[in-house]
Amino acid sequence: MSHVLIIGCGIIGAAIAYELSLSGLEVTVIDRQPPAQAATGAALGVLMGAISHKIKGNAWQMRARSIKRYETLIPELEAVTMRRIPYNRQGILMLCFQEEDLASWEKLAAVRSTQEWQLEIWNAAQLQLRCPQLNTEKIVAAIYSPQDRQVDPVALTIALVEAAKHNGVQFHFGVTATGYCFDNAEQQIYLQIENAQLSEQIKEVDWLVIAAGTGSTALQLQQKSTTIACDRTRIALSFAGTQQMQSTPAVEIKPVLGQAIHMQVDRPLGDPSFQPVITGNDVHIVPCVGSQPVTNYWIGATVEFPVNEQVVADATQLEIVKQQAIAFCPALAQAKIIHTWSGLRPRPEGQPAPIICNLPGFSNILLATGHYRNGVLLAPATAQKIREMIVRGE
């Protein structure tokens, strides 16, 4: 039985661990933090599949594959863990403002119909009838995608971990992987970790999956000179291609910060029985469906790039997002702010997201990283792809 080691336990690492546990593989997951602490913990979990403008190729196939898998994955996990996962099945409503090109949406709706997905185009009167909480003064139409979804990313990740444990996956938190070293004498590559006890427990693995988000860049590099002997805190990687270790990363992952707000109102916004995710100008109003009636909403999220290599949350950017949400949903002006939060999204430099491939030079080191703003959306499809790559390579 092949042994797979996964570095990273955000939504991507947890989804891969669970998917591999269904294939009878031996799986170990390590992370320097508890699960869902980095980008996953700051995500809104909006699953834009049919409402995205991706219509072909890998970008669309992964979205469609993930949305379909979520329909079976959520009840599957709830049955195993006996834990409810907040999962909004009421779709996504995208607001179209005065400058919007509705012809492009009509074309997309026609394409989706041939793909057996549904999109509805509502005029302003229809929108006002269905969502009376909205200020439609500057809204000309809305696109409703009833088959798209939203899920609580933290609850989902915790459920994936619990279900994977149930299937025999071993998780070790508080364990940091620092890179690789090459032992000249043994002609062997080793993964360096800061945990001597674990390195004694795991002597060798067959596959390594790097799902460490913004931490993935350093894990593609050789950290020690080939002339320096490795220390004993290491795990042997029985891989081909050890002579091709690189001094620069194959994929450079840059952090992009996102901030969001948790707000509470006295009563549900609009119709209590119709609570879709509402999005306009890249600002999301996300109902927290974990309790009924819905009186809590997440508002977000900012997109903040590094300045002089520094990523610092800008309160002004968050206030802009808040005011945009209030502009099309005025009732939020009276809402109570419960808390704000932020996280760093992993964005690949110079190539499309996500990165799901072999690390160049190695047949058994796989990258599953750089999902940028679509980690939660693409987690199931990513996990399936990794499983297929491992099964194919065994």
Both tokens of 267, joined, read 């009563």
pLDDT tens sequence across 379-392: 999 999 999 999 99
291 has pLDDT over 60? yes
pLDDT tens sequence across 33-45: 999 998 999 999 9
**246/355 same-domain check:** yes
Asked if residue 281 is part of any domain, the answer here is yes
Domain that holds residue 322: 88-148+254-347
**327/363 same-domain check:** no
The secondary structure element, H or E, covering residue 41 is helix 39-42
Asked if residue 78 is part of any domain, the answer here is no
Report which of residues 146 and 186 the model is more confident about: 146
Q: Could you give the number of structural domains in the chain?
A: 2
Asked if residue 211 is part of any domain, the answer here is yes
Nearest to 43 by CA among 331, 256, 212: 256
Mean pLDDT of 188-202: 82
Asked if residue 59 is part of any domain, the answer here is no
- Please confirm whether the linkage preceding 141 is cis (ω < 30° from 0): no
Report the range of poorest mean pLDDT among 32-46, 120-134, 144-158, 211-225. 211-225
**246/385 same-domain check:** yes
**357/325 same-domain check:** no
Q: What is the dihedral of CA 317, 321, 322, 327, to 10 degrees?
A: 140
Does pTM surpass 0.75?
yes
Other Cβ atoms less than 10 A from the Cβ of 79: the count is: 10
Mean pLDDT of 198-226: 81
Both tokens of 78, joined, read 């709830």
**18/101 same-domain check:** no
Q: Is the dihedral of CA 281, 318, 325, 119 positive or negative?
A: positive
CA distances from 122 to 13, 119, 261, 339 (A): 39, 10, 28, 34
- Are 217 and 310 contacting, i.e. CB atoms less than 8 angstroms apart? no
**354/246 same-domain check:** yes
CATH of the domain at 269: 3.30.9.10
**378/237 same-domain check:** yes
Asked if residue 69 is part of any domain, the answer here is no
pLDDT at 201: 85
249 has pLDDT over 60? yes
Nearest to 55 by CA among 6, 126, 104: 104
Q: b vs e for 237-246, b when ≥16 Cβ sit within 10 Å of the residue's Cβ?
A: bebeebeebe
Asked if residue 49 is part of any domain, the answer here is no
The secondary structure element, H or E, covering residue 366 is strand 365-369
10 has pLDDT over 80? yes
Q: What is the mean pLDDT of the chain?
A: 92
Asked if residue 367 is part of any domain, the answer here is yes
pLDDT at 228: 46
Name 150's Cβ contacts closer than 8 Å, sequence gap at least 6: 44, 45, 46, 47, 87, 88, 92, 277, 286, 287, 289
Asked if residue 326 is part of any domain, the answer here is yes
Backbone φ and ψ for 212, nearest 5 degrees, come out as -100, 15
CA dist 132 and 124 (Å) reads: 11
3-state helix, strand, coil in the chain (%, to 5): 30, 30, 40
CATH of the domain at 225: 3.50.50.60
The secondary structure element, H or E, covering residue 338 is strand 336-348
